[in-house]
Amino acid sequence: MGMYHSTCFAYGFRIPDDGAPWQLADRIDAELAKLKDQCPDVGHLQAGDYDRDMTFLVTKSDEVDLGEYKTVTPETATGEQYAAWNAQLAAAGTALGIEEIPVPGWLVVPDLS
């Protein structure tokens, strides 16, 4: 069995992990499918330390493999884009039953799988 290392760079926030990761992913996929018109830019990301992945609701996302690099330019998103992303993330979080929606931001998440 080999290990795969990468790093994810994404705009969003972490959500509570309540249960098995695959069950949470299935629940998120089902809810986001219902909100596709309202939240077209929202997806989810599960990444972290091998068998302790964390779950995030995200909009813009990039992955960088170990030994690679990528130039990211978050400053190219406009204020209007951030407002749209924030509204979509809040709507998706509410649909998932998250009571306190965190303030979204740029995340850097190392991943080992």
Which residues, in sequence order, are CB contacts of 96 under 8 Å at separation 6+? 15, 27, 28, 31, 57
Mean pLDDT of 35-43: 95
Query: What pLDDT shows up at residue 30?
Result: 95
**3-class DSSP state of 28:** helix
Mean pLDDT value across residues 36-65: 88
If pLDDT is split at 50, 70 and 90, which confidence band does 1 have? Answer: low
pTM for this one? Answer: 0.88
Condensed to tens digits (0 to 9), the pLDDT of residues 59-109 reads 988 888 888 888 888 888 899 999 999 999 999 999 999 999 999 999 998
The pair phi, psi for residue 90, each rounded to 5°, is -65, -45
| 57, 12 Cβ separation under 8 angstroms | yes
